[in-house]
């Protein structure tokens, strides 16, 4: 059996997939693909026609879209179950994943993290209007998340789930911006959850090493 993850070292979605693999205790081979490069290999475009990362290849099975990858990992691999069995908790878990993709990723990662943290680290030009726009969107997003966080250790119950795995890296990048960290800290339930999930060995082991 071979498991290969095609991803980009700084990509938050690749991080989510790696976090899930680590929590499942699965061995895999990492193949670095920079989806922003002008020369993404044709062989990769054959795997992912939308030129994004990550893509998982498990023997003869290929799959892209991070939410589908992590569900597949959970269902096809041994290790701890990462989806609640209770229908309402399970629905909440899917809801978190969808919220991250639809409403959180862009303002938190592509606007705030990318333009406030990542591009300056690389010495690349950044656009303060993108940071501003992301920070303006963030309070409503955080308030919506705060309302959904369960009164348990993790987002959807007592155990870690795919919801935590999908949201934590996105919050991790957002909180690297001073303003993002301050906004997060003003949401008690999210902050408590964040302290718990970000201390997990699998989260820490998969955290991207950013350029110094
Ligand atoms: N819907 C995709 C989104 C993946 C995605 O946007 N990945 C980013 C890196 S975090 C990417 O490949 N970006 C390349 C681009 O925007 O051109 C998923 O769930 O996997």
Task: Name 171's Cβ contacts closer than 8 Å, sequence gap at least 6.
Answer: 108, 184, 190, 194
Q: Where in the chain is the domain with CATH 1.20.1050.10?
A: 87-206
> 53 CB less than 6 Å from ligand 1?
yes
State residue 125 phi and psi, 5-degree precision. Answer: -60, 140
Span from the CA of 64 to the centroid of ligand 1 (angstroms): 10
pTM: 0.98
> 12 CB less than 6 Å from ligand 1?
yes
Span from the CA of 38 to the centroid of ligand 1 (angstroms): 15
Domain spanning 3-76 has what CATH number?
Answer: 3.40.30.10
Are the beta carbons of 23 and 202 closer than 8 angstroms?
yes
The pLDDT-based confidence of 47 (bands split at 50, 70, 90) is very high
Q: Where in the chain is the domain with CATH 3.40.30.10?
A: 3-76
The residue whose two tokens read 């003003």 is: 186
Pick 87-206's CATH classification: 3.90.1150.10, 1.20.1050.10, 1.20.120.1230, 3.40.50.720. Answer: 1.20.1050.10
β-sheet with 61-64: strand ranges across: 29-32, 3-7, 55-58, 61-64
Give 142-167 pLDDT, tens digit per residue: 999 999 998 999 999 999 999 999 99
Give 106-126 pLDDT, tens digit per residue: 999 999 999 999 999 999 999
């Amino acid at each position: 059996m071979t498991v290969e993850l095609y991803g980009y070292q700084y990509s938050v979605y690749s991080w989510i997939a790696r976090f899930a693999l680590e929590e499942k205790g699965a061995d895999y081979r990492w193949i670095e693909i920079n989806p922003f490069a002008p020369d993404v290999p044709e062989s990769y475009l054959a795997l992912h026609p939308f030129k994004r990362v990550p893509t998982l290849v498990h023997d003869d099975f290929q799959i892209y879209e991070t939410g589908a990858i992590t569900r597949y990992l959970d269902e096809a691999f041994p290790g701890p179950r990462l989806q609640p069995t209770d229908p309402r908790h399970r629905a909440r878990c899917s809801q978190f994943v969808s919220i991250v993709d639809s409403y959180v990723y862009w303002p938190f990662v592509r606007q705030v993290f990318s333009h406030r943290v990542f591009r300056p680290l690389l010495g690349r030009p950044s656009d303060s209007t993108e940071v501003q726009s992301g920070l303006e969107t963030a309070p409503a997003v955080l308030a919506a998340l705060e309302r959904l966080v369960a009164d348990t250790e993790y987002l959807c119950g007592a155990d870690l789930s795919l919801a935590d795995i999908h949201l934590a890296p996105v919050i991790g990048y957002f909180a690297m911006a001073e303003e993002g960290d301050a906004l997060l800290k003003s949401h008690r339930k999210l902050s408590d959850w964040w302290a718990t999930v970000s201390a997990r060995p699998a989260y820490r082991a998969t955290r991207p090493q950013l350029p110094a």
